[in-house]
């Protein structure tokens, strides 16, 4: 047993002597996205640019040189476990729709409101952005007002339900940002909406 | 409560007298998670970070040997760092009406994991993460960087 350990130690020392790689200065890794969307990064050390575009594709810097390197889920967990554990709950985006010319939600969106509320409440600290929109029927100036009313009615409901008013910002974009681009004067239900970002 | 606010005002006034005026930096994000020792460095000061704290352009996020911190930015980018880290938020601009902007941060040491947001999606090439040995260009979305001291 002891002789085995000595032999192993000697082999390791020999391997270290033969390779003596410069210590790692930096590690860059693409991680799998939560939504299955695969990302990509480039790493440029001034001499060349490396594209990393698969989960766990990685490069490292040693002795000032950056080159591709193998990594694994296990190594990522070791190196980045604490950082990943501190990752905030990711932002979530909602769309709720309104009745024509009104700041009243459609019945479907009235039911979907609960999901917005629940998502806010699961966060220890939160910020909520509400941006109102209209379709292109009616007068543009009136639509600007209506879009602000839609955002305000959403904010008021959240505040009534206990969400902190100071954490909510509202804006109205009138008919400027259509979800479904239309000509003027088109009654498009998908444009009568608020976009809610919870983070 | 009032006393507390006035103490804060007095402290700010003193800070203003003692050194350069505190930059009225725009808020670019919010501290969401804190574990162990975690700080925000701003204008030469160093304040213990708490969930809910505002984060400004040019702030530096720092963690101690047992520390970790998570921040969500107004473009919905998400950063988090583990122990012994220092991450500088050098440059940040974002227009929420068209989602365009630019973000450059620098990992001086430690670990940073990122889920990129609207800036990287709407403005290709506009999100960068610098390290002492290389610069990363972010096409999206989820990645990690470690810089050894």
Q: What letter does residue A189 receive in the DSSP assignment?
A: G
**Mean of pLDDT values over A137-160:** 97
Q: Testing the interface with B: which of A49, A77, A85, A88 to mutate, by most B Cβ within 10 A?
A: A88
Q: What is the dihedral of CA B108, B110, B113, B114, to 10 degrees?
A: -10
B55 touches chain A (CB under 8 A): no
Which member of A43, A87, A127 has the closest CB to residue B70?
A87
Token output for A70: 């193998």
pLDDT, tens only, A78-93: 999 999 999 999 999 9
For residue B32, the chain A residues in CB contact (below 8 A) are: 88-89, 123-125
Q: What letter does residue B20 receive in the DSSP assignment?
A: S
Which member of A44, A82, A88 has the closest CB to residue B134?
A44
**Mean of pLDDT values over A36-51:** 89
Closest residue in chain B to residue A38, using alpha carbons only: B141
For chain A, the 3-state helix, strand and coil shares in percent, each to the nearest 5, are 35, 25, 40
- CA angle B3–B48–B111, rounded 5-degree value: 160
- CA angle A161–A163–A165, rounded 5-degree value: 115
All residue ranges of chain B with pLDDT < 50 are 1-23
**What ipTM does this complex have?**
0.87
For residue B80, the chain A residues in CB contact (below 8 A) are: 83-84, 86-88
Go through the domains of chain A in sequence order and give each one's CATH number.
22-85 (no CATH), 92-198 (3.30.1330.60)
pLDDT given for residue A6 in this prediction: 63
pLDDT given for residue A15 in this prediction: 58
Contact B145 A23 (CB under 8 A): no
């Amino acid at each position: 047993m002891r002789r085995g350990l000595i032999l192993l130690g000697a082999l390791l020392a020999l391997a270290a002597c033969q390779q003596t790689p410069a210590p790692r200065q930096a590690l860059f890794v693409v991680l799998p996205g939560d939504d299955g969307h695969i990302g990509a990064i480039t790493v440029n050390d001034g001499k060349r640019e490396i594209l990393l575009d698969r989960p766990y594709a990685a490069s490292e810097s040693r002795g000032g040189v950056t080159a591709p390197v193998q990594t694994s889920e296990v190594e990522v967990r070791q190196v980045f476990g604490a950082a990943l554990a501190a990752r905030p709950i990711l932002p979530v985006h909602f769309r709720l729709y309104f009745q024509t010319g009104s700041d009243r939600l459609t019945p479907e969106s009235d039911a979907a409101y609960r999901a917005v509320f629940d998502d806010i409440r699961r966060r220890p600290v939160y910020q909520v952005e509400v941006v109102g929109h209209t379709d292109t029927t009616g007068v543009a100036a009136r639509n600007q007002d209506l879009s602000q009313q839609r955002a305000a009615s959403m904010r008021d409901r959240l505040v009534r339900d206990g969400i902190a008013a100071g954490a909510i910002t509202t804006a109205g974009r009138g008919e400027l940002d259509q979800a479904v681009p239309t000509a003027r004067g088109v009654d498009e239900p998908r444009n009568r909406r608020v976009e809610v970002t919870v983070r | 409560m009032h006393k507390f606010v006035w103490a804060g005002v007095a402290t700010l006034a003193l800070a203003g007298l003692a050194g350069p005026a505190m930059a009225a930096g725009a808020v670019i994000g919010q501290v969401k998670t804190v574990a162990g020792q975690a700080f925000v460095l701003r204008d030469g000061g160093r304040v213990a970070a708490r969930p809910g704290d505002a984060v400004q352009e040019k702030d530096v996020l720092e963690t101690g040997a047992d520390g970790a911190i998570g921040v969500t930015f107004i473009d919905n980018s998400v950063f988090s760092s583990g122990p012994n880290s220092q991450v500088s938020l050098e440059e940040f601009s974002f227009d929420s009406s068209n989602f365009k902007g630019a973000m450059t941060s620098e990992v001086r040491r430690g670990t940073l994991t990122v889920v990129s947001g609207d800036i990287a999606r709407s403005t290709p090439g506009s999100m960068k993460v610098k390290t002492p040995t290389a610069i990363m260009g972010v096409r999206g979305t989820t990645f990690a960087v470690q810089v050894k001291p």
